[in-house]
Structure 1
Amino acid sequence: MSDTEPRRWTLRGAHTEYTVTVPAHGRWLELAAWGPHGVGDGPSPVAYDGPVPFLTAGDAAPVEFATDADRPFTGADLVVETATGHRRVGFGFVEAAHDPAGGTLAVTFADPVTGLRAVLRYAVPAGTDVVRRWVELTNTGAEPLVLARAGSAGFCVPTPHGALVSHQWGQWAQEFQLAHVDLDHGAFTIGSSQGVPGHLHVPWLAVRDRAEPDGAAWAVAVAWTGSWEISAERDTGGLTRIRAGRRLPDGPLELPAGGELTLPEVVGAYSVEGLTGLARVWHRYQRHLAGDRLAPRPVLYNSWEATYFAVDAKSQLDLARIAAEVGVETFVVDDGWFVGRDDDTAGLGDWTPDPAAFPDGFEAFIADVRALGLRFGLWVEPECVNPRSRLYAEHPDWVYRLDGRPLTPIRNQYLLDVGRPEVAEFVHSTLDGLLRRYDISYLKWDFNRPRTEPGRAGADGPLDLDGAHVTNLHRIYERLRRDHPGVLVESCAGGGARTDLAMAARADIFWPSDNTGPLDRLAIQYGFLHANAPHLLSSWVTDAPGIFDPRPRSLAFRFVLAMAGVLGVGADIRQWTPAERAEAAGWIARYKEIREVVTQGEVHLIGGPDQARCAVQYTSPDGRRVVVLAWHTGRSDGAGLLPSRPVRLPLRGLTPEAAYRHGDQRYSGSHLTAVGLPVRWTPTHDADLIVLDRE
């Protein structure tokens, strides 16, 4: 590219555009505009050319990827040390390659002193409104370099009236709790050092201007299944910069002479329709990631809450027969099916079916399940091992450990060092072997502990344990998907501790929480759907009470709740009465009629779990069918003796002049939008599924 050519490029999404430019000095790439089509046709809303007392120009500029030479005081994305301990790597623009039709951009910078070369890559997938970003680093110098900070990107958002930062916090059994922080000045940071995204925070963060909470919204998510970090910092000029990428719990990363390193992908999203509009942007993108695997998931039954570790052929077949009778399509045997697994103190790592539990053989048992018209699924936790197992006795060096230090057991188990090639091959061959030997069409892949020991037995020098584990984990998923394309894989980590965009590209379904209590689960799923599509949401109907909100709810409430994503049943259905089984069969049949719309439809979140109205609307791609799932979030007692009016649910995205019919009732689109769909709750009617067909 010559000096006379413009150094400004625009990537266009379905409804949005993202424009970046290299200033005349050539030291960095910066944002010019990010928003709806045409937003870049005018002065940049994020540029700042005024004085910066006690700062540098880069500290105030909307820099896309900053070294500590660019932003020495307000926070860099990349901090590099030389062999002599010097910092302040400074880049200069080299070249750019832009493919407007393909939605890609690559901008190359280099540091003439160290020889570090960085390619900033962008991609906007067709039909989406997200911008994917990652950085490829190459050390072309003669000396090794050390990366003290290795963030992937900075995203700049105009917040002239203050920033409203939205995030999702949680803990085990209380994941995806949506919360908001009023950020006038300063920084807000979330992340994980657990070697997994974790229960405490979701790798997702959204920012809005405080004066426009229902207007423009920007969000950033990290596509990395290990330790991560996102921070948002608002400066005195009204700009909020979001930094995102890896957190380095194992210490700095080494980049030897001639070495290459690709930093994790981070993804930015924009919507003019606030948080619920952002949710639809994420849903479209995750459906894009699913590709040809985006199809309605089968209704499943999972045996965990019915039998726990007491798994044997008879009890499982008793459950399978009832499950088949009520319309279930896949039967999943959970923990307890393999040798030594009478409780959680032994067996992990020894993935052989227990012959005492399956005296006629595991193949015969699966054949009996299949004969009921059911697909067969299995729970596994291949990255973990119990001290009381044959695998650990033979390979004690395969777990993360620090020489001379005691191991930390969590849930009576240790974590395998999947970054070691031989351990990765063991995990892959174990799962591949199970899938080749047995007629399995569904895997629930669990992960029940974080990484505690930051070391490898006999290691000489520092290692990127987090990076090696995640890289091999992703490769195993990809190999299994390639070799067993008909097998659905559910990603679980003690509930929702492993949900990120990298897993959304490799797993078919997420298990968001071990908490299946009705009102607790409603709050969990409400948050989940803000950042994840319904086809990723696995939800079971159980008899479990709530942990945080124990108010009882009906079986109908539990079914309508589980229909918000991928319907499953996890109760001990042997204990259900004939009437309850008949009700379940009716709900399952209704779900099968609507699941295509739930999987493919445009989602609108109405109200919330803490509001008088709470519903989710799914509109089919052609707009002809609207499915509304609604729940009563208030008190369930009282006979309704005083005058009252029904709760009204304002629907969205309808054709105002069109007519929509539900049974004998006919509504105009205008009525459903302006007045709302009426629902009336009673002590015995606390949830509803309403299907509207456009005439």
Structure 2
Amino acid sequence: MATTTYTVGLPEHEGWLEQIAWGPTGVEHGPSPTANAGRTPYMTAADGAPVEYAPFGLRPFTGADLVLDQELFWRFDGEDSTPTSLRLAFVDDLTGLRTVLCYRTSPSTDVLLRWVELTNGGTGDLVVDQLGSAGFCLPVESPELTFLTGRWAHEFQREQLVLPAGRFEIGSSQGVPGHQFASWLAVRDAVDGQAWAVSLAWSGSWRIAVDVEVTGATRVRAGRAVSGISLAPGETLIAPQVAAAYSADGLDGVSRALHTHERSLTRDLVRPVQYNSWEATEFAVEEEGQLALASLAAELGAELFVVDDGWFTGRHDDTAGLGDWHPDPAAFPNGFATFVNGVKALGLGFGLWVEPEAVSPKSLLYQEHPDWVYRVDGRPATLIRNQLLLDLGREDVFEFVRAVFDRLLTDYPIDYVKWDMNRPPTPRGRPGAVGADLDGEHVRNYWRLLDHLRSNHPHVLVEGCAGGGGRTDLATIARTDVVWPSDNTAPMDRLNIQYGFLHAHAPHVMLSWVTDHPGFFDTRPKSLRFRFVTAMAGVLGIGADIRLWTPEQRSEAASLVTLYKEIRSTIHHGSLHLIGSPADPSCAAQYDHGARTVVLAWQTGDLNGVPALPGRRSRFPLRGLDVTATYRTSDGVEYSGAHLVHAGLPITFTATHDADVVVLDRQP
């Protein structure tokens, strides 16, 4: 890895693998900080050891990573290694289960990827009741945990707690990562500030657990949430990857490490400034009105126009239409192709919203294929948002959705797809599928479809959305170009959401809109500039009804879009430091790329009365700059690096100037 090492060792008995050290390069040269130096009364030796991965049976008391319907005991069965990967096999002779512990480095980053592969080498079925991807032992006795929690419209709220003993667990059983928790967690040593983080690449149900074990060390486990998956003889089950990072620079450092990893997963392309028409028209989509919005959006400097829900046959509200993916001829009397070309004639790309996993009970698709939805015989269907969910794990359903995409993207010059999912699967059943891995089958076909779009329609950008931030895992991020963190676009609410999101994920995948929404939780009014600077923190979009904006507002918006395009490369490729939080009177985000630093700053609390009363300007101590260099703003003001780091960048906020953008260029 770039600056860190992860070291494991095989004890003489070869019954399990142990973690030796994880930290800065060279930390492995010395006694292991996680090794147990004492006896293990009332438990097994494995229960007290820093075991990398262990089944129930081998580690029966302090927590196992793998649980089957019977106990397992391992012996080492060989290894296969390259300069960037390691595979270590263990076999249970009684059941024939072969488990391979897999490791791979993420090139030029401080991220390690881990997962396991299970193969049933026996003669009978095995039942998997818990499937971890990895376990990590940390030399921290009172870990400070940072995690992201919330609900719909309130996702990615950062929470912290110290775990002196016992267990902490987060997860989802909804068939998607969900709105309640992000599949990410960080552990910080409150004594010396070093930190570790894990992020799970799984688009279905999951769990992450933290235990303070009897030795005093902290153990973190991550993997799928499963129950009763049948593994037949000869079959292989692969657990999802976990991306793990260490940094001596604390939470800021592990976030930057994961951001770098995400840049290696995603395409290096310009993510356009978009306008989405949903908040302006909702379901009332018709050609003339959409073209009028597109024309205004082009004047503001937007590069992409996205038609959201309501464009297809029967979709006049949320009770019908899903599954019948054909443009409504009544809404587009001149033909949908003519409409799309009209948008593109304005110099805009064209995007379209779809929810391909969902179906309306009133749709033609459901009338023809009622057996395609998740269902349990004899039980009533559960409607959420007046819709059902297709059993995407079925091959016929997969082929139907693939054909829908191919038809739309072939028949019309579409540049962008917004893939939404507005309900979890419940009841999750398929008649006759006892022991089937329904969650895994759905996720794998979801990935297959995203991979199909990437390979067969590479010019099309894809946005990942699930009722907001319900599916923002690493696997989705690797197969899309942006994700939608939340349906809440209000300024202060959104700033809080983005603050948490950027702990786990990189700015270049974070789509954000400027709207006129007042907010659900913090309804304090903020300026148009504040809303724009908030959305500039990632991938800028506009979602307001811009027909209602005054000429002055449109002029201001156009100038801010122009500014964003000038700094977009720094925001998307730069190293990020979060300075303060939205809970403070002011906060900022610092992006460094090459010789340029961009600072986005927000006044989030009360003003200090300046200039009417004595006081000082708000200051933001920047990080990571060359203290011996000189930095110049775009309007010619110069600062020393030492001043910016130690005294801080000064910004004056007023009642009408509640956000700012400062561009600093390091002088030769």
After TM superposition, the score normalised by the length of structure 1 is 0.95
Q: Kindly report which structure 2 residues correspond to 1:322-341, keeping only aligned pairs within 5 A, or say none.
A: 322-341=296-315
Structure 1: how far apart are the matches of 2:476 and 2:110? 20
Q: Please, which of 82, 92, 97 is the counterpart of residue 99 of structure 1?
A: 82
Structure 2: how far apart are the matches of 1:488 and 1:644? 48
CA contact (8 A) 1:306 1:572 kept: yes
- The residue number in structure 1 matching 2:52 is 64
Q: CA deviation at 1:210?
A: 2.7
CA contact (8 A) 2:48 2:214 kept: no
Q: CA deviation at 1:388?
A: 0.8
Q: CA deviation at 1:638?
A: 6.3
- The residue number in structure 2 matching 1:675 is 647
User: Which deviates further from its counterpart, 270-279 or 511-520?
Assistant: 270-279
Structure 1: how far apart are the matches of 2:68 and 2:516? 54
2:512 counterpart of 1:534: no
- The residue number in structure 2 matching 1:553 is 526
Q: CA deviation at 1:461?
A: 2.2
CA contact (8 A) 1:296 1:535 kept: no
- The residue number in structure 1 matching 2:293 is 319
Q: Please, which of 141, 164, 189 is the counterpart of residue 209 of structure 1?
A: 189
- The residue number in structure 2 matching 1:655 is 626
Structure 2: how far apart are the matches of 1:345 and 1:367? 30
Structure 2: how far apart are the matches of 1:541 and 1:640? 30
- C-alpha change, 1:637 and 1:661, in structure 2 (3 Å) is closer
Amino acid at match of 1:227: S
Structure 1: how far apart are the matches of 2:350 and 2:167? 49
CA contact (8 A) 2:586 2:605 kept: no
CA contact (8 A) 1:69 1:88 kept: yes
Structure 2: how far apart are the matches of 1:48 and 1:294? 45
2:230 counterpart of 1:254: yes
2:376 counterpart of 1:402: yes
CA contact (8 A) 2:514 2:544 kept: yes
Q: Which blocks of at least 5 consecutive residues in structure 1 are unaligned?
A: 1-12, 82-86
Structure 1: how far apart are the matches of 2:607 and 2:360? 45
Q: Which blocks of at least 5 consecutive residues in structure 2 are unaligned?
A: none
Q: Deviations over 1:135-188 (max 9, x none)?
A: 11111111221112111111111113x111110001000000000111000000
Q: Deviations over 1:175-213 (max 9, x none)?
A: 00000111000000000000000000000011112323x
Q: CA deviation at 1:637?
A: 9.7
Structure 2: how far apart are the matches of 1:38 and 1:460? 51
- The residue number in structure 2 matching 1:634 is 605
Q: Kindly report which structure 2 residues correspond to 1:522-601, keeping only aligned pairs within 5 A, or say none.
A: 522-601=495-574
Structure 1: how far apart are the matches of 2:523 and 2:544? 17
Q: CA deviation at 1:244?
A: 0.7
Structure 2: how far apart are the matches of 1:274 and 1:308? 43
Q: Please, which of 244, 248, 263 is the counterpart of residue 272 of structure 1?
A: 248
Indicate the SS of the match to 1:358.
coil
Amino acid at match of 1:547: F
Q: CA deviation at 1:67?
A: 0.6
CA contact (8 A) 1:295 1:599 kept: no
% same residue: 57
Structure 1: how far apart are the matches of 2:377 and 2:176? 23
Q: CA RMSD in A?
A: 1.1
Structure 1: how far apart are the matches of 2:329 and 2:663? 48
Structure 2: how far apart are the matches of 1:639 and 1:654? 29
Q: Please, which of 99, 103, 127 is the counterpart of residue 146 of structure 1?
A: 127
- The residue number in structure 2 matching 1:108 is 89
- The residue number in structure 1 matching 2:160 is 180
Amino acid at match of 2:55: T
- The residue number in structure 2 matching 1:4 is none
- The residue number in structure 1 matching 2:278 is 304
- The residue number in structure 2 matching 1:462 is 435
Indicate the SS of the match to 2:367.
helix
Structure 2: how far apart are the matches of 1:524 and 1:638? 28
Q: CA deviation at 1:640?
A: 5.0
Q: Please, which of 6, 10, 18 is the counterpart of residue 30 of structure 1?
A: 18
Amino acid at match of 1:676: G
2:104 counterpart of 1:123: yes
User: Which deviates further from its counterpart, 314-323 or 55-64?
Assistant: 55-64
Structure 2: how far apart are the matches of 1:320 and 1:555? 20
Q: Kindly report which structure 2 residues correspond to 1:225-624, keeping only aligned pairs within 5 A, or say none.
A: 225-248=203-226, 251-290=227-266, 293-456=267-430, 458-620=431-593, 622=594, 624=595
Name the count of aligned residue pairs. 666
Structure 1: how far apart are the matches of 2:240 and 2:597? 38
CA contact (8 A) 2:98 2:120 kept: yes
Indicate the SS of the match to 2:146.
strand
Amino acid at match of 2:571: V
Indicate the SS of the match to 2:479.
coil
Q: Deviations over 1:280-321 (max 9, x none)?
A: 01100000101xx22231000000000000000011001000
Indicate the SS of the match to 1:505.
helix
Q: CA deviation at 1:99?
A: 1.4
Amino acid at match of 1:675: A
CA contact (8 A) 1:191 1:228 kept: yes
CA contact (8 A) 1:640 1:682 kept: no
After TM superposition, the score normalised by the length of structure 2 is 0.99
Structure 1: how far apart are the matches of 2:490 and 2:197? 30
- The residue number in structure 2 matching 1:137 is 118
